Each structure stands twice: as structure tokens, then as C-alpha cells.
Amino acid sequence: MKPKTGEKSDSTRLKRQNESTHERLIEARFSQEERDADANRPQSGGALRGPLVAEFRERGRVLPSMYHAYVRRRVKQLFEAINQGNAEPVLQLFAPQFEHSFLGTHALGGSRRTAPATREWYARLFRLLPDIHFDIKRIWVSGAPWNTIVVVEWYESNSGTDGVRTDNCGIHALHLRWGQATQLFICPDTGPLISTLARLAKSGNVEAGAIPITDSVGPE
């Protein structure tokens, strides 16, 4: 038996009211969290700042799912830039105070907290693995713009500087606050990476065996 026209319209109206109520509850929760975080809000944005982040800041009216989709799209663009040998979009992402870390004790390992050291790290990455390419498997995003966690699972391939093709897997773990990165941890499977660096060093690439770049240690 088909519902009457009036019954169908009442059902549709009730559904819209429930959706609207749900959205208002979400907005109220995020608005309260924003007020709590307002004292720590930076005055300038980073590479992820865009219309959705601005909308969240001004009125708190963008739902989390929309913001998370925006972050996933921008993170994919950052990986595409690295695949093209361009680290500038990533470097522009960092907040004035940040930590950039790579798992392991080797030429690409260690932690950096200054822009010059981090820029030199990416320069070394491209010198050692000039055709490095990331294929993203999946991206997880959680949190609001003032406290966002991003985890990226990826496959990576390169041919080093000796033409030997190898691949690896790992994750990036990223913390964002108002469009700026405060922490980036890069965690590959260190076994294949160390083997690749040892092979490159054996073939004559001295930098493959260098000590890690840190804030006080430049390239050898």
C-alpha cells in the first residue's frame, strides 16, 4: 500500500528536521572546542589553509566529513609534489615550531626542528633517491582544524642513483593545527631502506653513508 502524499511529505520533513538538529549539535560541539582552543590559534595559516578551514574558523558551519575530505585531497597533492621532485609545498606547510622526524639511524634518519635543516633533508632525499615515487594506499583523518591527525599508508619505489629498482612501504603521521604542521613522523620499513642506502654507498655514493641531518649537523 502506497503512503499518502501528506504522509510522505511529513516523513520527509521529519527527516530534514532530524538532519538539521544533528548538524546543529555537531556545530555546537566544534564551536565550543574552538573557543577552548582560541587562545592558541596562530595568526597566519599554512599550506592547508583554504575555504573550508576559513569557514570553520569564522562560523563553525562546515561538517567534519567535509573538512576531512578537504585534508585528504590536499595531502594527496603534497605527495604528488614530492613525486615530481618538489618539496616546497611540504616545507610551506610547517608551523613556526615543528618537528620533522624519520625513523632509523642512517643518512635519512633523525629529527629536525628548523626550516634550513628540513629543507636540506629533502634535498638529500632527492639526491639519494631522485626518482622516488609514492603510491598512496589509504589516508585516515581525524579531529577538527585546531587538532587534526592524519595517517597516510603508502608504497614507495625508486631506482636510487645506480639504476637498481627497489620498493618499500610505510606511513606518514602528521599533526595539523589550523592548517599548519606541528609534527611529521615518517615511518618506513627500515630494513629495505637501509639495504638500499648500503647498496648506494657501496656503489660510490658517499652521502648514502652520511650521518643524519639534524638542526646542528648539515650534510657531509
| Sequential pLDDT tens for the chain (220 residues) | 555 555 556 656 655 555 455 444 444 444 444 445 444 444 444 556 555 566 555 555 566 888 999 999 999 999 999 999 999 999 999 999 999 999 999 999 999 999 999 999 999 999 999 999 999 999 999 999 999 999 999 999 999 999 999 999 999 999 999 999 999 999 999 999 999 999 999 999 999 999 999 997 544 4
pLDDT in the model for residue 64: 81
Q: Which residues of 174-204 are buried (b: 16+ CB within 10 A; e: fewer)?
A: bbbbbbbbbbbbbebebeebbebbebbbeee
Strand partners, 167: 157
Residue 184's nearest CA partner among 93, 123, 107 is 93
pLDDT at 34: 45
Torsion of CA 168, 198, 122, 75, to 10 degrees: 10
pTM for the predicted model, two decimal places: 0.75
Give the pLDDT confidence score for residue 121 in this predicted structure. Answer: 98
Mind giving me the DSSP string for 4-70? Answer: PHHHHHHHHHHHHHHHHHHHHHHHHHHHHHHHHHGGG--SS--TT--HHHHHHHHH--S-HHHHHHH
pLDDT value of residue 27: 46
Torsional class of 78: left (φ above 0), alpha (ψ -120 to 50), beta (otherwise): alpha
> Residue 141: beta bridge partners?
150
Cβ neighbours around 114 below 10 Å, total: 15
C-alpha cell at 81: 609534489
CB 47 within 8 A of CB 93: yes
**Alpha-carbon gap, residue 178 to 23, rounded angstroms:** 22
Q: For the chain, how far is it from start to end, CA to CA, in angstroms?
A: 80
Identify the pLDDT of residue 55: 56
pLDDT at res. 103: 97
Domain 41-209: CATH architecture, name and number where available: Roll (3.10)
Please report, for the chain, the start and end positions of each structural domain, with discontinuous segments joined by +: 41-209
Q: Would you state the pLDDT for residue 76?
A: 97
Query: Which residues are CB-neighbours of 90 under 8 A, at least 6 positions away?
Result: 47, 78, 81, 82, 122
